[in-house]
Structure formats: C-alpha cells, structure tokens
Chains A and B, each alone.
Chain A
Amino acid sequence: MFDEVCNEVIRSRDLFTENVKDSFGNSISEELFQAFLNNIQSAKLYSDESNFKEGSIRFKLAELRLML
C-alpha cells in the first residue's frame, strides 16, 4: 500500500539529485527525501504489524461464527 508512495519519492529524489549535484543537493536528499522515505518505511512497518493483528482477529471471527 505504501510502496507506491515510496517509489514516487524515490523517483523524485533521483530526478532531484541528478539535477542538483552538490552539498546542497546532498543535504536536501538526506533531510527531505531520506527522512520522508524513513517515515514511509515506519508507516509500512506499523501497517504490516497491524495486518498481522487483523489476521488474528479475522481468524477469531471465523472461529466464533462456527459456533452455532
């Protein structure tokens, strides 16, 4: 789900660093793009953890629905 945004940011970063090749470019690459990518990665991780929990909940729901 977050992979598309990740790719979008990577694409934009690559175009930017191709255009600005110096310490200013490196700094923006690190403080804007890398920070953004880290945030997306964290969000992805939280989402994956939640997927796991949601899987357990769905399993429990399926189990209780068999109780008739």
Chain B
Amino acid sequence: MTIASVEYIEKLPHTIGEVTQAVSDFESKVQERLHLAEQLKDETEAEEQTSLGLLDLARGEEAAAQAALIAAEGHLAFLIAGAVENPALAFEIPVAMEAASKCREMLDIAKRHRELMEQRYQLAQECVMMATENLETLRLQLNAELIRTKETTAVQISRLSSAINELTGYSSESEHKYRSEYEKWEKYQHKEKEPIDPDEIRTRLNPGREVCLGLLAALRGKDDNFAKTISDYFEEGKTEEGRNQAILKIRKNMTGRLAEEVVKAALAPFGRHVETQKGYVFDDGTYTKIDLVVSDLVAPIILGRGQGMGAREGGSLGVEVKSGKGSYLMSQMGHLVFQAQGHTQCDVSCTICTRDVKDLNSSAEELLRENIRSAGSPILGMLPYKSELDDICIEFVFGGSGNV
C-alpha cells in the first residue's frame, strides 16, 4: 500500500484521458512521418521509371545513329569502288565523305547521351534504394518507440486506474466513518443531576474535524439546497481560477452555516425543544430572528461567572452564532447588540463565536465583550477558529488526501 496525497481525485481520470489522447496523437504523428518517407520513396520510384524511359529512348537514338553511319560508310565505299570503272562517281565522293563524317558525329552525340541516361538511371536506382532503406529503418525505429510507449502507458494507466478505484473507495469509506463519528457525537446525553458547565459547552462546541465532516455529509443528505450548493462549488472548482472563486464563496457562506449547525447540534442535547431562526418582534415593531433557542433545559446551565450567566432546569437559552476573523466580529458589534436584545425572552442567552475574538487586541476585545454583555448576551468565543472551519468546508467540497 502506497501513500497518495491527491488534491483532486476527479482529476485522475482526466490524466488517463490526456495520456490516452497523447498516445493516439503520437501514433498519428508516427504515421504522418512515415507517410512523408513513403511519399519520397514513391517519388524516387517514379523517377526511376522516367529515367529508364529516357535511357530506352537514348538507346534507340544511338542505334539509329549507328545504322545511319553504317549506311553512309557503305555508300562511300560503293562510290570509291565504283569510281575506278566510272570516274563520274568520284565527284560524289566528297559529299558522301561529309555525310559519313556527320553520321559519325551524330553517333558520338547519341552515345554520350545514352551514357548520360545510363548514369541518370543508375542514380535514380540509388535514390530508390536509399529511400526504401530509409523508410524501412524509420518504420522499424518509430514503431519500436510506439510499441514501447503503448506498453508502458498501458501498465501505468492500469496502475492509475487502481489508484482511482482505491481512492474513490477510500473516499466513500471515509465519508461513512465521518458520518458514524457524527452520529455518535450527535446522540450525546448530558449526565443527569449535574449542571451544564462552560467546560462541557466548550467540549461540545469543538467536535473535531471528522465529526464536522460527518455533520456536513448528513446535512447534504437532508438538505437539497445545501447539496446543490456543494455540487455547484465542486463544479466551479474544476478549473484553477474557478477553484479560487469557489473557495472564496465557501469561506464567505458555507463556514457560517457549518458554525450554526455545529452550535445547534452541540447544544440540542441540553434541551427538550430546539428552535432555529425563531422570529422576535420588538416593542417598536422591528423584527429579528434568533439563530437558536434551546428550551425546557434538561439541567441547570452555567455559561460563566457573574450575574445573568445561568438558567434553571426547564428554562431556555437563546443563542446568536457568528463566525469570522476578529475584525469581522468587531464590525458586527452593532448587529450583535441588536440581536442580543431579541434574546431577552429567553432565561439566559449568549453569542457564540469563533475563537478569533481572542485575536483582537485586548482593548478591542474588551469593548466588544462589554457592549454585547451589556445588551444581555455575553460572548462565548468557544467555536474553533474560522480558518479551521474554512479548511473543513473546503475539504468537504473538494476532498482531501487519502491512502491508496
């Protein structure tokens, strides 16, 4: 078993597709290259035929010139022999000599041309031999490389396919494991007769990565809109640029949802009734929604030290949830104060936020805490850091590393 750190499992089949395409393109290029060598061989063969035709013509011309010379020389011999008995024939001898000389000259020319055509034909034959040998050598060499490539890629693609199967299997196995961890965590029961104290609340609000992944998986299973959003982020993230955009959206929208769902599931076992987004109308007619109201508490609850930080068994707890970096939490102070006023219908209330509140400088943190405490809903910075929740959401959408 090898360890494989794969960022996108779904990209691996693309790699197989790309390699298969590259092998096919390589094969096309090999064929294209061999075709060029074949074309040249065909050209040399055509040239060989042309040269042979020219040689045949030259041979014919030489034979004709040879015949003309024999005839001219025969005529001259006849005139010389005849001139002994018939002196008048002697007058024709110079013309006949001139004609024979001309024929000898023509024969020389025809002979030289025939020799040249023989040379041409020989060169053409050499070209055919060279082109044939070149084609055969190239065919052997390129086909050998192509066969090697096909063999190697077949073995390695099979390896990649196995890796994909195992990773996909691991991924479903992981999701099953996360959901089972989440279900165990969700079924938590508070110990009877004991008050719910800040340590227990803190522990519940920090369920760990696997539980959070399981929570998200369960949420996807029961909320179609959420499932569609996840699928959209995933699709968008298939390109480099799209992924960056999708991650921004996840950080902006999905992490807040995860924080709310963690708080809801973490605190649900502390009450017999849980309501989310409960509407509240202020005396002046303005309206707000409370993120979470846990009522009919199963035990007394203590949120921290000081007055107004606890409620009796059977009482109610109102909660506002905020996730974000310190500067964001600071910018939300007015909104949180307003929301806190809606919690007054509950016996006790709090604003649960990510641990980033502790990263604010001490005066800013004190200002934020004091303003919200005064409004009646003290801050509990007990959720994990925003960046930790971001990472879990990103891992849930795009997958993480696995064992192959």
Contact = CB atoms under 8 A, between A and B. Distances in A.
| A-B complex is real | yes
Interface of A: 1-2, 4-5, 8-9, 11-12, 15-16, 18-25, 27-28, 31-32, 35-36, 39-40, 42-43, 46-47, 50, 53-54, 56-58, 60-61, 63-65, 67
Nearest to A36: B149
A46 to B, nearest CB: 4
B25 A12 contact: no
Given A19-B15, A47-B138, 6 more contacts: A8-B21, A8-B25, A20-B6, A22-B4, A27-B2, A50-B33
A44 to B, nearest CB: 9
Interface stretch (B40-48, B71-79, B227-235): B40-48
Contacts of A8: 18, 21-22, 25
A39 B30 CA distance: 12
Contacts of B116: 67
Nearest to A43: B145
11 contacts: A1-B33, A5-B26, A15-B18, A19-B6, A31-B152, A35-B152, A36-B152, A43-B142, A54-B36, A60-B130, A67-B117
Contact of A24 (B4, B23, B37, B123): B4
B25 A5 contact: yes
Contacts of A1: 29, 32-33
B300 to A, nearest CB: 52
Contacts of B145: 39-40, 42-43, 46
A11 B163 CA distance: 21
